Amino acid sequence: MITDPDTYTRGVPYEHLAALRRESPVVRVDDFWAVLGHSDVKYVLKNPKLFSSHLGGTQIRDPATEQDLGYVRRMMLNMDPPEHARLRGLLTRAFTPRAVGRLTERIHGWARDLITAVAAERRCDFAAVAADLPLLTLAEVFGIPEQDRRLMYDWSNRVIGYQDADYAVSATVEAGEVTELARAALAVRPVPGPDGAMPDPRTRAGMPDLYAYATALGEYKRRHPGDDVMSNLMGHVEDGGRVSIDEFENLFWLFSVAGNETLRNGIPGGMLALLSHPDQYRRLLADRSLLPGAVEEMLRWWTPVMHFRRTATEDVTLSDVDIRAGDKVVVWFSSANRDESVFEAPDRFDIGRTPNDHLTFGHGPHFCLGAQLARVQLRAMFEAILDLPGEVELDGTPVRLRSNFQNGLKSLPIRW
């Protein structure tokens, strides 16, 4: 049940996860161990020597071939120390409190502009509006031309939404809207085959347009460096090979997809949390000082990324369960963030919840680099929403993403 993507079109099966967790914090599901308890999830994530990201990658499904496994292993997401630390260390400068602070005013301005653009209509599809804020932010941080930002929207749809018929074929960008760099990438954008299927987006061959753009952008940054992450990385490619060109291109993949998708679903998920709990929404309207805590509770209650895989490197016992070397071990954030041993009344949405030790951004060496940047964007978007006259309410039925990995909303109609 917890691996069936159709289940999630109706909602995350929290009751089923809780029943499994009460049976044992570590249970066998299909061909993997599901780690459901909060403390066990933290233990797995902070011990990469025992539970590797590199051996089998971080997705439940094994790559189809050894070549595909080699491809995913070149991504920072699928690396273990010390290689992971080497790449991560080159990126931290872009995510320091000072760097995020320099962006904060612009992020708030973008959020206000996005809401102002739809304010006169007094209704919108909030999922569509919210999707643009992380794109604008990522374009700024990584030095991507603003008019090319929607490419990241399509790439994310195809990679994260590969189980959803609408998202798997996402192609919303037209050649006349983008730069010459992007037009060359669009020329190799894949199309559905005779059977309607797209190539596997979790392989290099399945995303030729993304990699064509990454290659072209890298060359442009080499000739025209700026004060952005991609220019910095390309400098390391040039400077004695501290970063390989494959690593550069795969970091671009990571930023474009993972850096975008989590927040894109977290913002409308947070809105649905508020609309589903009008008492908490009105509490926030009455006291804006509660917004930082409300954002943390949105992240806990919605939990955009539902799980990540590790692979056991040796025989190990976890909560009295014997795990063998080579076994798949999948930490389930959606369960850990509702663990009743850590969170009082875990199914209750409480914007004043404290403490709130949620694991939405992970734990240990792979803790999300952009966590603080994500929090700033969430606060900015909800400040803009709270400034709207009257109260926001649902204007139709939310449409959920068909995915057992990303807790997503394809549509969230609202009015005010």
pLDDT digits (tens, 9 = 90+) for 162-181: 999 999 999 999 999 999 99
125 secondary structure, DSSP code: E
Q: Is the pLDDT of residue 240 over 70?
A: no
**Residue 228's pLDDT band (cuts 50, 70, 90):** confident
**Residue 343's pLDDT band (cuts 50, 70, 90):** very high
CA distances from 166 to 130, 240, 410 (A): 19, 43, 9
CA nearest to 336, candidates 38, 45, 2: 38
Every domain of the chain and the residues it spans? 5-415
**Residue 95's pLDDT band (cuts 50, 70, 90):** confident
Kindly state the tokens that stand for 91. Answer: 């990126």
Task: Say what angle helices 150-160 and 126-142 make with each other, to 10 degrees.
Answer: 110
Burial of 98 (0-12, 13-18, 19+ CB in 10 A): exposed
Q: Is the pLDDT of residue 242 over 80?
A: no
CA distance linking residue 310 with residue 322, whole number of Å = 15
List all residues 6 or more positions away from 373 whose beta carbon is below 8 Å from its beta carbon. Answer: 95, 100, 103, 137, 141
Q: What is the pLDDT of residue 175?
A: 92
406's enclosing H/E stretch is none
What mean pLDDT comes out for the span 311-331? 98
Q: Considering the domain delimited by 5-415, tell me its CATH architecture.
A: Orthogonal Bundle (1.10)
Q: What is the pLDDT of residue 22?
A: 95
For strand 328-332 and strand 32-35, is the pairing parallel, antiparallel, or unpaired? parallel
Q: What is the pLDDT of residue 79?
A: 95
Least confident of 183-192, 226-235, 260-269, 328-337: 226-235
**Residue 239's pLDDT band (cuts 50, 70, 90):** low
What mean pLDDT comes out for the span 308-330? 98
pLDDT more than 90, % of the chain: 79
Reduce the DSSP state of residue 126 to 3 states and report it.
helix
Reduce the DSSP state of residue 258 to 3 states and report it.
helix
pLDDT digits (tens, 9 = 90+) for 347-369: 999 999 999 999 999 999 999 99
CA distance linking residue 130 with residue 23, whole number of Å = 38
pLDDT, mean over the chain: 94
For strand 123-125 and strand 413-415, is the pairing parallel, antiparallel, or unpaired? antiparallel
Q: Is the pLDDT of residue 246 over 90?
A: no
CA-CA-CA-CA dihedral for 96, 102, 106, 107, to nearest 10: 20
Q: Is the pLDDT of residue 34 over 70?
A: yes
**Residue 238's pLDDT band (cuts 50, 70, 90):** low
CA nearest to 330, candidates 56, 7, 15, 12: 56
